Amino acid sequence: MMKSKLLAILLCAVLLISIAACGGSSVPTTSEGGESPTGSAPPATPSGGGADTPDAPSTPDAPVSVTDTVNVAITADDGTLAAEYLMTGTYMAMSAVMEPLWDVTEANEVIMVLAESVEWIDDAHLTVHLRQGVKFSNGNPFTASDILFSLGLYKVAGMTGQPRVQTIDPEKTKVIDDHTLDLQLIAPSVAHWQILSQFFIYDEESYDQEKNSREPIGTGPYKLTEYIPNSSIKLERNEAYWGELPDIKNINFTLLAEPSQRVNALDTGLVDIAPIAIEDVEYIESLPGVNLDSRFTQSYTMLGFNFGAKSAFYKNVDARQAIIHAIDPQVILDVVYLGQGEVMHAAVPDICFDYEDRFNDLVDTYAIGYDVELAKQLAQSSGLAGQTISLMTAGTSDAIKMAEIVQSMVSEIGVTVEINNYDNAIAWQMAYDPESDYDFSIGVGIAPNRVVGDLLLNGVRYFPQLNVPGAFEGNMEYLERAPLTMSTIDEQERSELLYDLLRQYEENVIQHAMCNILVSNAYSTVIDPGSIVYSVGTGFVRLQDLKLAS
């Protein structure tokens, strides 16, 4: 299971990642001073992150609002609070207890947190100057050695923790002194800022592996007071926090897996923040005292193809193109997602920081799209016509609905589709097993760091089926060039790489993106909508920024 969870961070894959953040009608900007995370230079002036100087923490007697508790609904529980394994709403909770060196917002701004500043020596080497006077909630001082210790934990955490520190070279990175870190990267990376925003720092002195999964210690603005697995999490403000004290004193999280539970909780005032299912959007908009935020995040619906030897699509690009031209994504958007989104025109969503208009409609599968006659011709020429092929889903209700639509549409070109619904774990195992005998799959992909290169690199190299010579036309040359999409700092040079490799990726129909779906979240009017800021690394709201409405 841990291995399966990681890949959702890295890849555009077949599993839905629920985003349990909340927000206003638009993504607010942070205070001035942030810098684009895709460059190699540090922010000239850190944005947010607490006190102006490291030796000026807020005092414990800061004013507290009359409304001192906010209740949050989450849709899933990871069963642990160990930061290196978190993916769901528990991640949002722990991001207020533990802290990274910096954070990056969905507005592409860097917020310095435990790092006060960074000094770039070259594109793969930087000196990190840490805040002084920072303490963990147990009173232990935060030092550079805690970073190296935490790095070791993430590196051995398997396929969940490793991606969050994937850019760091652990052998070359060294402590200079308690408040200075010599940080060296394995290679230059345009996603270095976003990736390390998910790297929360542990207290080396007090760390206990078993205890940490239930009672983690951090430097954050909140402390954990209670955790009941698969039920609830309670946080209270850390009055000794090094930075500006948050407005809200207590934050309580309750697991409400069913959409109807979250609607009822909002309707009755039991929760103030909750993710909303698409079918409940209209009702939530009518509720007094509740605001709805709908925005595009990293997730989108997609078709994935099995490139293994047992698949009907093995080395058969015409067959893959036939399936794509047989499907009308607008129907899927309207029927499954009630029109809450947009049809995509490329294999990645246009919310990526380095997305360009010229990436739209690069190849016929996107430029022509739905064309039944063309699909019939391709089905005949590829030998797909008359066959029965298997369609795999991870068992979500949306995926099942989509599969039934695909089944009906593909039947129009003389191909029979057999639907097989599995649970998440089995679907993941099958997706990455070269011996799997399914043919194609339905799910939701992600652009985890909002850079196009994430798809072009990780969406290929982590699939064993795609690494076999000849799996698709020119795949070995592709695999050689793909890492450059993440390590090329020069924007113009990287732009040309992205254009060339995106075309090759789409011409071979590695996967096909269909609809970019709006994610909706509700929050009560007790929250000031202007204080909502999202972290790009997690997709969750930054709880420490929330302000109570005046």
Report the CATH number that the domain containing residue 75 is assigned in CATH: 3.40.190.10
* CATH, residue 454: 3.10.105.10
Please count the structural domains in the chain.
2
279 with 305, same domain? no
Model pTM? Answer: 0.82
Is there a domain that residue 94 lies in?
A: yes
Q: Is 175 helix (H, G, I), strand (E, B) or coil?
A: strand
Could you give the maximum distance between any two Cα atoms of the chain, in Å? 75
**Domain range spanning residue 470?**
297-517
CA–CA distance, 307 with 321 (Å, rounded to integer):
14
Residues 141 and 260 in one domain: yes
Residues 281 and 139 in one domain: yes
- How far is Cα of residue 416 from the mean position of the Cα atoms in its chain? 34
> Are the C-beta atoms of 16 and 396 separated by less than 8 Å?
yes
Sign of the dihedral defined by the CA atoms of residues 321, 325, 329, 335, in that order? negative
Placement of tokens 């959409």 in the chain: 259
Residue-wise pLDDT for 314-329, tens only, equals 999 999 999 999 999 9
Q: Is residue 13 included in any domain, yes or no?
A: no
The sign of the CA dihedral 483, 484, 489, 494 is: negative
Which of the two residues, 65 and 148, has the higher pLDDT score? 148
Specify whether 35 is located in the same domain as 177: yes
If asked whether residues 239 and 304 sit together in one domain, one would say no
Closest C-alpha among 345, 296, 295, 298 to residue 447: 298
| Complete edge-to-edge strand list for the sheet that includes strand 115-122 | 115-122, 125-130, 180-184, 174-177
Structural domain contains residue 20: no
**375 and 447 co-located in one domain:** yes
Would 276 be classed as within a structural domain? yes
CA separation for the pair 73, 247 (Å, rounded): 19
Tens-place pLDDT, residues 484-533: 999 999 999 999 999 999 999 999 999 999 999 999 999 999 999 999 99
Residues 428 and 532 in one domain: no
Establish if 7 belongs to a structural domain.
Answer: no
Task: Tell me the pLDDT tens digit for each residue of 417-444.
Answer: 999 999 887 888 898 888 999 999 998 8
Q: Are residues 403 and 481 in the same domain?
A: yes
65: tokens are 């609002």
Asked whether the beta carbons of 445 and 300 are under 8 A apart, the reply is yes
The whole-number pLDDT of residue 156 equals 87
Among 37, 6, 354, which Cα is nearest to 163's? 6
Residue type, 525: T
Average pLDDT, the chain: 87
In angstroms and rounded to an integer, the radius of gyration of the C-alpha atoms of the chain is 23
In a domain, 14, yes or no: no
Q: What is the pLDDT of residue 67?
A: 62
Determine, yes or no, domain membership for 5: no
Q: 129 or 38, which is more confident?
A: 129
Which tokens go with 247?
A: 């407005």
Claim to verify: residue 84 and residue 128 sit in the same structural domain: yes
* Sign (positive or negative) of CA dihedral 261, 266, 271, 276: positive
- Residue 456, amino acid: L
Residues 166, 304: one domain? Answer: no
In this structure, the answer to whether residues 236 and 330 fall within a common structural domain is: no
Q: Look at residue 151 and tell me if it is in a domain.
A: yes
Whether residues 451 and 531 share a domain: the answer is no
CA distance 1 to 457: 23
Summarize pLDDT for 187-239 with one digit per residue, the tens. 999 999 999 999 999 999 999 988 888 999 999 999 999 999 999 999 999 99
